[in-house]
Structure 1
Amino acid sequence: MKCMVINLDRSPDRLAHVTAEFARIGVLFDRVPAIDALHRSEFAKTSSGLTPTEVACLMSHKVCWKIIANGDDAFGAIFEDDILFSEAAGPMLSHYGWIPADADIVKLETYLKKTVIAMKRTSVGRAFSVARLYGLHIGTAGYILSKQAARDLISRSLDAPADHVVFDPSLPSSSSKTIYQLLPALCVQNDLVCEKAFRLNSLLNEERLMKPRANSAPKRSPTEKIVVETRRIGRQIFDICRLRREKTISLA
């Protein structure tokens, strides 16, 4: 299975980091030069509401999707250059025989936040399992994409950040796919787990933080708090009835 890493030409430090990570787990990868928002002034003029870096990130992932769509393998793996792998990642990335036959996408990453997955798990060997992913689980630092899903994504008109395009069930690009979460996850973004001195700063997150923020929401009244909590409990009951549950995905 081809593993691709998206990396900006002006980020040799991140390339060195991800090269060391792949060497540590004994897996080869192909570098895919990222599209750089600094050199694409037209990205600042889009009407989608995306920041220039979000547009560039989406277009960079689209380059990888095209490689998978035109390649010989049934699946390809896409990574961003700030990932940290678990020790068990190597054998899982060496082949794709463990991937469910009906899978369009397999999320390999955890964002360490709660999401909704199916209660039913299917063992895929080496103490790993997969479960259907039904909730929003942002982040596109590590995922596997099928050839057919890649063809579908590149045929769509997309106007959302890459991680929402792939993993936001409220969007047609994601809701139309059979998506699995690998349990536990194989990788996590560096800045989510490393101390500040050892973090790789996220250009995307930095730009998102610079976006104008809407005025803070007014404080909820006691009645409004009861309504919100009632809805939350109702969603949980609804998920249980559909054999789904909320879970924070751990790292292997």
Structure 2
Amino acid sequence: MADFDPQPGRAASEVAELSATQREADEAELYAGLRKVAGIVAGAQGVIDLLGDVAEFAVQAIPGADGVGVSLVDPWHDKPTVQTWAATAILVHEIDTAQYDELNEGPCITCMESRRPTVSGSLGSDSRWPHFGGRAARMRVHSALALPLIVGDQVIGSINAYAKNRDAFGDHAVQLGSQFARPAAISVYNAQLLASAQERTIRLQRALDSRAVIDQAIGIIRSRSGGTADEAFERLAQISQGENVKLHAVAQRLVEEAVRRAVARHR
């Protein structure tokens, strides 16, 4: 029996007892999706492209899913926000956007709060989300399976599967979806870490380059004025404030002018 939060008051049931052949086919689809997730190499593609692949692999791995979205938590706000970064269909993106941006309720939000898979077999009558459920039902989406993406003790997002049929996700789908979500979470998390490290490296390199140009500009001013380094820096700062131009840009301009004059003299 899969461990998940079902829809209150609605009996969890499969549409029909799955045959051994169907179960084997579903498990083969899951393992194919897992192999593809395992083959994702962080850094070989951007985070957005990686999330798109995860969504596509999830559709393959989760029985009954008509569309899947991958949402991530952005912790860098006063209140953490959730946003869908990849979806296999426009309809999925619209449904998830309604959850986060308009209604602040839905299976994705619930699964991240409970840290457990969340299932609904009839969204229009699901008492947990009176506003979201009706919105999804009017869009002819009746079933949902939300799987939290957890790394260690941190919830980093969720995989949200939707289906037009009612009761599309039973124990079997939850079990396979959960098996897929665990390694998918690690792949996404590693890609985020690498992207963050690369961004910090770029910022540091820019800062070092900026510092080098400013030091060159200070040297040029000192050679002309005979003043101290502090006096030269103060002169740069005055120009920057007076022209409302960044200090680095002022220094770069001064260095380039000095280079042009030196080249002209040699000619």
Higher helix share: 2
TM-score with structure 1 setting the length:
0.26
